[in-house]
C-alpha cells in the first residue's frame, strides 16, 4: 500500500489538474494548529511552494500567532496576516444595535470563523486563480466541531476522511516539526482545547467511531455515540471534494442465523470459534467498513441441489433466521449488506462484495463456508478488482469439507 503521504499528494495533484491550471494556487488559512499545518505541507509537496499561499487571521491578539508564522517560514510559502478584529467589532456592534440584543457565546464562536472564511475568499478574489482548503479532520466532523459556512466551508477537503491520529502520522511523513504536528487542538478563540470543551479525547472518539467500545469508559462511549448521531445532519452539509485514503474492508459472508444454528451441518462449536476470531479481527484491524453478504433466497430455490436441495425453508427472504448475527452487527463500523441468490433459477454462491465501496486496497473475507460461499465471493471480487489485495482469514471461516482444496485460478487471493 502507498504511504498516506503519497496518496494525499497524488489526490491534491489530481484535484488541481481537474479544477484549475498549472498556475492555480492553494489558499490556506494558517492557524498554527496541526490541521492547517499538514494541509499546507501536503499542498507544497504536491504543487510546489510557489503555488501555496497562507493567510493568518487573528481576531485581535492571537497568543500562538508565532506558530502560524513558523509554519509559513518552515514551508517557505508566501503569506499574509489579516486581522479580523475591526470587521468583527463593527459587525457585532451593528447587529446588536439593530436587534437590541447581546452577543451570545454562539455568536462569539461562530462569527469569527465565518469572517475568516469570508476573508479567505476575499484574498482569493484579489489574488485570483485560487482554490481554498477546508482543513477539518474526520474526528472534528463526527463531533460537529466546526462552523457551518465558516471553517466548514472551502473548495477542497484533504483531511475530511482522516482521524486525528492519521493527521499526526501524515504530518510526520511530511517531515514537519513534531511539536506542531502533535499540538493540542484548539479553536483559538475560547482559550480551551477542543478536548476540554468536548469532555473526552479525540483518541476516544476514534475508538468509538471504529467500533472499539470495549476500550472506552461505557459512559464516555455512550456520550460520544450520542454526539455522533446528533451531528450527522451537520456533517451531511459538507459536500466538498474530499480525499479518500486507501481503505481496508472486512467482508463477512453469509453470517446469518439460519446458517449458524446448526442447519448447515457445520456445528455450533465450530462457528463460535470462528466468530470469536472474527470479533478479534474487528478489534485488532482498523477496518474502514464492513460488508455483510446474505443468502436471501425465494422459497424452493435451486441452491444446494448436490446436497439434497432445494431447501424450502433455507434462507428465505423475510423468514426468521435470515437476519445477520446480532453480535457481528453490534460493531459501530460503517457497513453495507448485500443479498445474493435472489434469482430462483441461478445457483449463486459468490458475488463481488465491493460494488459500493471505493478505493479498497485490502479486503479480508471470513464467514460461511470456506469451501463454498467464501471462496466464491473471493474469486468474484478478485476478478472485478484485480488491484485489491484479497485475504481469506481461515480462522474466521468454517467449512462443510475441512479438507477441500480450492483452485484460486491465478487470482489475487491469499489464504492466511
Helix pair 202-209, 164-173: axis angle to 10 deg: 110
- Model pLDDT for residues 7-29, shown as the tens digit of each residue: 999 999 999 999 999 999 999 99
pLDDT at 239: 85
pLDDT at 1: 45
**How far is the CA of 197 from the CAs of 40, 108, 145, 187, 189, in angstroms?**
26, 15, 10, 10, 12
- Can you tell me the mean pLDDT for 258-281? 76
pLDDT reading at 400 higher than 60: yes
Query: Biggest alpha carbon distance in the chain?
Result: 83
Per-position DSSP letters for 178-247, written without gaps between them: HHHHTPPPB-SSSSSBHHHHHTS-HHHHHHHHTT-GGGS-HHHHHHHHHHHHHTHHHHTT----B----E
pLDDT at 181: 94
Among 355, 414, 400, 415, smallest CA distance to 381 is for: 355
pLDDT at 176: 96
CATH number of the domain at 4-235, please?
3.40.50.620
The CATH number of 247-415, from 1.10.3720.10, 3.40.50.850, 3.30.56.10, 3.30.2020.30, is 3.40.50.850
CA 64 to CA 73: how far, in whole Å? 15
pLDDT reading at 331 higher than 80: no
Among 346, 242, 232, 237, smallest CA distance to 295 is for: 346
pLDDT reading at 303 higher than 60: no
Contact 188, 31 (CB under 8 A): yes
Among 32, 42, 26, smallest CA distance to 173 is for: 42
DSSP-derived letter for residue 316 is B
Please list the residues that pair with 337 across neighbouring strands. 292
- For residue 301, what is its C-alpha cell? 430455490
Sign of CA dihedral 325, 326, 332, 337: positive
| Residue-range domain boundaries for the chain | 4-235, 247-415
pLDDT at 317: 58
pLDDT at 295: 75
Radius of gyration, CA atoms only, the chain: 26
Residue 359: asked if its preceding bond is cis (omega within 30°), the reply is: no
Average pLDDT of every residue of the chain = 88
- Can you tell me the mean pLDDT for 72-93? 98
**How far is the CA of 40 from the CAs of 9, 75, 121, 172, 183, in angstroms?**
11, 8, 17, 13, 16
Residues 6+ apart with CB under 8 A from 177: 70, 74
CA 41 to CA 53: how far, in whole Å? 11
The pTM of this model reads 0.74
> What is the percent of the chain with per-residue pLDDT over 70, rounded to a whole number?
86
Domains 4-235 and 247-415 share a fold: yes
**Residues for the chain: how many in total?**
416
Residues 6+ apart with CB under 8 A from 360: 246, 247, 248, 249, 354, 385, 388
pLDDT at 254: 84
CA 126 to CA 113: how far, in whole Å? 20
CA 113 to CA 107: how far, in whole Å? 10
pLDDT at 203: 92
pLDDT reading at 307 higher than 70: no
pLDDT reading at 305 higher than 70: no
Comparing 32-41, 84-93, 297-306, the range with the smallest average pLDDT is 297-306
DSSP-derived letter for residue 134 is P
CA 103 to CA 97: how far, in whole Å? 10
- Neighbouring C-beta atoms of residue 211, cutoff 10 Å: 18
Among 198, 216, 381, smallest CA distance to 283 is for: 216
pLDDT reading at 312 higher than 50: no
Burial track 110-126 (b if 16+ CB lie within 10 A, e otherwise): bbbbbbbbebbeebbee
Reported as half-sphere exposure (CB side, CA atoms, 13 A), residue 280 has a value of 9
Q: Which residue has the higher pLDDT, 205 or 400?
A: 205
- Neighbouring C-beta atoms of residue 356, cutoff 10 Å: 10
pLDDT at 314: 54
- Model pLDDT for residues 114-158, shown as the tens digit of each residue: 999 999 999 999 999 999 999 999 999 999 999 999 999 999 999
pLDDT at 88: 97
Among 70, 77, 88, 73, smallest CA distance to 45 is for: 77
Residue 216 pLDDT grade (very low, low, confident, very high; cuts 50, 70, 90):
confident
- Can you tell me the mean pLDDT for 37-44? 98
- Model pLDDT for residues 153-180, shown as the tens digit of each residue: 999 999 999 999 999 999 999 999 999 9
Find the angle CA(389)-CA(391)-CA(397) to the nearest 5 degrees: 160
Amino acid at each position: 500500500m502507498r504511504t498516506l503521504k503519497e496518496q494525499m499528494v497524488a489526490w491534491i495533484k489530481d484535484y488541481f489538474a481537474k479544477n484549475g491550471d498549472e498556475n492555480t494556487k492553494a489558499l490556506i488559512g494558517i492557524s498554527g494548529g496541526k490541521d492547517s499545518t499538514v494541509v499546507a505541507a501536503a499542498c507544497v509537496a504536491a504543487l510546489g511552494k510557489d503555488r501555496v499561499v497562507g493567510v493568518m487571521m487573528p481576531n485581535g491578539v492571537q497568543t500562538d500567532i508565532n506558530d502560524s508564522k513558523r509554519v509559513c517560514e518552515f514551508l517557505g510559502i508566501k503569506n499574509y496576516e489579516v486581522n479580523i478584529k475591526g470587521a468583527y467589532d463593527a459587525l457585532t456592534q451593528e447587529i446588536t444595535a439593530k436587534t437590541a440584543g447581546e452577543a451570545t457565546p454562539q455568536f462569539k464562536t461562530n462569527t469569527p470563523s465565518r469572517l475568516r472564511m469570508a476573508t479567505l475568499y476575499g484574498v482569493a478574489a484579489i489574488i485570483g486563480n485560487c482554490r481554498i482548503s477546508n482543513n477539518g479532520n474526520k474526528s472534528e466532523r463526527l463531533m460537529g466541531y466546526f462552523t457551518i459556512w465558516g471553517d466548514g466551508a472551502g473548495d477542497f477537503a484533504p483531511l475530511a476522511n482522516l482521524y486525528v491520529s492519521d493527521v499526526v502520522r501524515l504530518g510526520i511523513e511530511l517531515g514537519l516539526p513534531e511539536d506542531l504536528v502533535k499540538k493540542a487542538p484548539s479553536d483559538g478563540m475560547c482559550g480551551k482545547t477542543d478536548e476540554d470543551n468536548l469532555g473526552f479525547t479525540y483518541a476516544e472518539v476514534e475508538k468509538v467511531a471504529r467500533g472499539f467500545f470495549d476500550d472506552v469508559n461505557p459512559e464516555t462511549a455512550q456520550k460520544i455515540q450520542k454526539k455522533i448521531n446528533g451531528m450527522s445532519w451537520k456533517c451531511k452539509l459538507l459536500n466538498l471534494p474530499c480525499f479518500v485514503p486507501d481503505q481496508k474492508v472486512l467482508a463477512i459472508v453469509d453470517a446469518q442465523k439460519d446458517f449458524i444454528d446448526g442447519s448447515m451441518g457445520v456445528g455450533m462449536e465450530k462457528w463460535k470459534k470462528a466468530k470469536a476470531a472474527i470479533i478479534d479481527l474487528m478489534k485488532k484491524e482498523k477496518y474502514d467498513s464492513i460488508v455483510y453478504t446474505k443468502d436471501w433466497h425465494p422459497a424452493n430455490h435451486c441452491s444446494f441441489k448436490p446436497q439434497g436441495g432445494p431447501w424450502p425453508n433455507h434462507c428465505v427472504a423475510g423468514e426468521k433466521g435470515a437476519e445477520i448475527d446480532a453480535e457481528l452487527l453490534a460493531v459501530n463500523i460503517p457497513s453495507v449488506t448485500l443479498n445474493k441468490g435472489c434469482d430462483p433459477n441461478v445457483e449463486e454462491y459468490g458475488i463481488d462484495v465491493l460494488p459500493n465501496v471505493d478505493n479498497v486496497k485490502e479486503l479480508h473475507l471470513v464467514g460461511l463456508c470456506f469451501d463454498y460461499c467464501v471462496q466464491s465471493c473471493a474469486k468474484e471480487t478478485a476478478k472485478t478488482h484485480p488491484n485489491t489485495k484479497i485475504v481469506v482469514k481461515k480462522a474466521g471461516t468454517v467449512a462443510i469439507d475441512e479438507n477441500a482444496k480450492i483452485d484460486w485460478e491465478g487470482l489475487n487471493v491469499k489464504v492466511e
